[in-house]
Amino acid sequence: TERSFQKQDAVFLNAKSVSKKNARWHKDIGLGFKTPAEAISGTYIDKKCPFTGNVSIRGRILSGVVKSTKMKRTIIVRREYLHYITKYQRYEKRHKNIAAHLSPAFIGVEVGDIVTVGQCRPLSKTIRFNVIKHQKKQVKGSKRFQKF
């Protein structure tokens, strides 16, 4: 889809000795998160990917439910939480939507799946998080509050 030549910044392609078998660069982001197999063996180029690009994960690690996948390489994650009202000694439901970059390493992320996002530098006007883990949606009984 991109018209320009796509290459990773960390890989030098014009070496005199021809060994282009391991010409893909990837890293371990740490914090106990595994690098996806697609990031290691895939062919995609994404400079905003935490596994193959120039982005470091630091700060907060959050989890939520995927609400929208309509944008290119970006998803909306809904985080639901309970807020305590002292006067009535009860809780109310609240939520926040977070825009997160979705690397091509995660194949098949759909609405309703649970993702873990890590904070990184600002990638665009609204995106400050990057998807670092993906879990498929588990279908259980009736409709209820997602987190509990």
pLDDT digits (tens, 9 = 90+) for 85-112: 999 999 999 999 999 999 999 988 999 9
Average pLDDT on 24-47 reads 90
pLDDT at residue 144, rounded to an integer:
63
DSSP letter, residue 106: S
Of the pLDDT bands very low, low, confident and very high (cuts 50, 70, 90), residue 2 is confident
Q: How many C-beta atoms surround the C-beta of residue 70 within 10 A?
A: 9
C-beta separation of 57 from 131 below 8 A? no
Residue 38 phi, psi dihedral angles, 5° rounding: -65, -30
Of the pLDDT bands very low, low, confident and very high (cuts 50, 70, 90), residue 116 is very high
Q: What is the mean pLDDT of the chain?
A: 89
pLDDT value at 146 more than 60: no
Selection from 104, 103, 138, 108 nearest residue 118 by Cα: 103
pLDDT at residue 17, rounded to an integer:
72
77 vs 145: which has the higher pLDDT: 77
C-beta separation of 111 from 69 below 8 A? yes
Average pLDDT on 25-39 reads 91
CA distances from 138 to 2, 34, 37, 97, 146 (A): 35, 21, 22, 21, 11
C-beta separation of 64 from 77 below 8 A? yes
